[in-house]
A = this chain, B = another copy of it.
Amino acid sequence: MDRELARQWLSTALDEARTGLAEGGIPIGAALYGPDGGLLGRGHNRRVQDDDPSLHAETAAFRAAGRRRSYRDTTMVTTLSPCWYCSGLVRQFGIPRVVVGEAETFSGAHGWLAAHGVEVVVLDDPECTELMREFISGRPDLWYEDIGSEDTGHDA
């Protein structure tokens, strides 16, 4: 896809990430876009805010988009490489395209999605990276809890 358009869509996810941070939460945001560039749903990680471990940014955006008969013409946009949970969501529902803000602070399963035919665009966005880098450095406990890692140091 066009990288300029991908960057535009990423700004929505980045807004969500910043909102999450301002709420005291984990700064990861996502948005689900339709074929015509219409926004279907947006959201951010809500582990802290709602005490809900099931709401990663991508699942929050998916939830916000409501029930749909098909996802074949949608794009999931997320500030961070999607973990197995969120990548499983993308694969199960046949979302054909994923825009990833950055995969430097955490490399999830975006490569696995690409290997299974999903178009993956990694934007290496410095704002996304900086947001996560600062957060992980300041609150490693929350971050490692969010990805189910027993480490609190450097395992991701």
User: A interface vs B, CB < 8 Å?
Assistant: 47, 51-55, 59-60, 62-63, 65-72, 83-89, 91-94, 109, 145, 147-150
Contacts and interface: CB of A to CB of B under 8 A. Distances in A.
A151 B19 CA distance: 38
Given A67-B47, A150-B70, A88 B84 contact: yes
A89 B58 CA distance: 13
A80 to B, nearest CB: 13
Contact of A93 (B70, B85, B89): B85
A51 B66 contact: yes
CB-CB nearest 7 A-B residue pairs: A88-B88, A93-B148, A84-B92, A54-B63, A84-B88, A85-B92, A84-B91
Count this chain's copies in the assembly: 2
A107 to B, nearest CB: 13
B53 A54 contact: no
Contact of A54 (B51, B54, B83, B149): B54
21 contacts: A47-B67, A51-B66, A51-B67, A53-B62, A53-B63, A53-B93, A54-B54, A54-B59, A54-B60, A69-B145, A69-B150, A83-B88, A83-B92, A84-B92, A85-B85, A85-B89, A85-B92, A88-B88, A88-B89, A88-B91, A94-B149
Nearest to A62: B54
A147 B84 contact: no
Nearest to A150: B70
A48 B53 CA distance: 22
